Structure 1
């Protein structure tokens, strides 16, 4: 290997292969907003000379990671990227991935933390870590509920695609539907849901959605505790913590979390109209 292909880090503790770094930079140019790029587009993003860029594109093309199409020529990610993604996704176990994040959430809030997944119109608890307090709220693994009720349900329902959400709302009685629509708007605006005694009398629950690599909501993270301990003043802090934890889980599932999104900007709690 030519010495020019290897560059040391500032500390000199390890080396990176420059050609590999450049190839990865090319692959990372493609986004959902820009799935097809010209050579000039890619060159502007990676800052490589045209000959070097063409050599790397040919190598990536031969590996099935990039394909060229059209005239003028444009490049897209190819089937090889999806094959790698399938291998990676197959190795993910949601419970194992989420457990350390839930442990941290449980310890930072002092309350029970749980992971829920979406199945049709139900949310199912697949992992629950109970609070260490003597007085605690727990649902139990396997607990199932409709996504039109409670913080965990509304956190999911609020972020479903419009068509699927509207189909579910159409099944709700009109008086409650209008109230639910307002509640979901509030959930979307602040990034998390709150319920006060809606599922369990005397309980306060928080939940924020989790997403997969396609940006589709697949469940949520929830925190719940007794109202005797969780005060109104705690709600903004708990909301921010559950959002942060849900985003961390989503990133583990392959979702690229925007650093300036509503999910990351919890708003002040408004007691009236809380979800």
Structure 2
């Protein structure tokens, strides 16, 4: 998206909210100003506006700002939109039990893939994707699944724009390589990725289809790359595929 089509004030307000690391931090005005790299007066006005809108809280005793529980109200139904997570949870837990790896539900938002739910592995050495994690949609096993049924024109848009993010580095995936991978996803019903969005992580995933046949999301099994041997990854992928097929059937029954 071109910068001249956006509002700088809105962008700055969103940056303020992101400074709080999902609600884990309480920050002083000085700390906010340093993180934003803006002048104190501007940051103060942004913070006061967000307090007024119920998205930040200002503690008068300590002078610290924190995210408000009002943020939850904006997205309380989003995490189970159209009943996807409600259908998926039982099967995600089965996948975690069978693989002992982190299991995630990942959906597509235009040019991004977003983790909406994550069940962390119980192993001491593990790789966890946090809820809200956002990356270019074609990256990794889950990304391959999410775009596996898109039209040629939709794929062209993704290949042209999805990785246009300043300040973020990802393993390069050529258009030709991506198309080859999509052909395999359509043939096998699952995908594997290693070291694309993180050099230390690998994943195996399968697409979830809605009643209309479109891809609604992906079940992803995420692990440290040190455990990502071929046979092990394929076993995880098949486990994810079994769960994805079951979730797809549940979604279809809901719309009968």
The yes-or-no answer on 1:216 pairing with 2:194 is: no
Residues 182-193 of structure 1 mapped to structure 2, 5 A cutoff: 182-193=180-191
Flag structure 2 segments of 5+ consecutive residues without an equivalent. Answer: 1-79, 164-171
Say how many residue pairs are matched.
167
Match of 1:244 in 2: 242
1:149 maps to which of 132, 139, 146:
139
Distance in 2, matches of 1:210 and 1:186, equals 16
Distance in 2, matches of 1:161 and 1:255, equals 26
User: Using a 3 Å threshold, how does the CA distance of structure 1 residues 252 and 161 change in structure 2: closer, same or farther?
Assistant: farther
Q: Is the 8 A contact 1:206 1:239 kept in 2?
A: yes
Flag structure 1 segments of 5+ consecutive residues without an equivalent. Answer: 1-89, 257-275
Distance in 1, matches of 2:112 and 2:81, equals 25
Match of 2:231 in 1: 233
Q: Is the 8 A contact 1:127 1:141 kept in 2?
A: yes
Distance in 1, matches of 2:86 and 2:132, equals 16
Match of 1:113 in 2: 103
How far 1:242 sits from its partner (Å)?
Answer: 0.8
Q: Output the TM-score relative to the length of structure 1.
A: 0.55
Q: Secondary structure at the match of 2:227?
A: coil
How far 1:122 sits from its partner (Å)?
Answer: 1.6
Distance in 2, matches of 1:240 and 1:175, equals 24
Q: Secondary structure at the match of 2:182?
A: helix
168-177 or 142-151, which deviates more: 168-177
How far 1:143 sits from its partner (Å)?
Answer: 0.8
Q: Is the 8 A contact 2:111 2:162 kept in 1?
A: no
Partner deviation per Cα, 1:165-210 (whole Å, 9 max, x = no partner): 2332344799821222222222222211111111222322011111
Residues 63-212 of structure 1 mapped to structure 2, 5 A cutoff: 93-171=83-161, 176-212=174-210
Q: Is the 8 A contact 1:158 1:165 kept in 2?
A: no
User: Using a 3 Å threshold, how does the CA distance of structure 1 residues 230 and 149 change in structure 2: closer, same or farther?
Assistant: closer
RMSD across aligned C-alpha pairs, in angstroms?
A: 2.5
Structure 1 stretches of 4+ moved >6 Å: 172-175
User: Using a 3 Å threshold, how does the CA distance of structure 1 residues 117 and 255 change in structure 2: closer, same or farther?
Assistant: farther
Q: Secondary structure at the match of 2:196?
A: coil
Q: Is the 8 A contact 1:113 1:221 kept in 2?
A: yes
Say which structure is richer in helix: 2
Q: Is the 8 A contact 1:115 1:222 kept in 2?
A: yes
Q: Secondary structure at the match of 2:184?
A: helix
140-149 or 100-109, which deviates more: 140-149
Q: Is the 8 A contact 1:169 1:177 kept in 2?
A: yes
The structure with more radius of gyration:
1
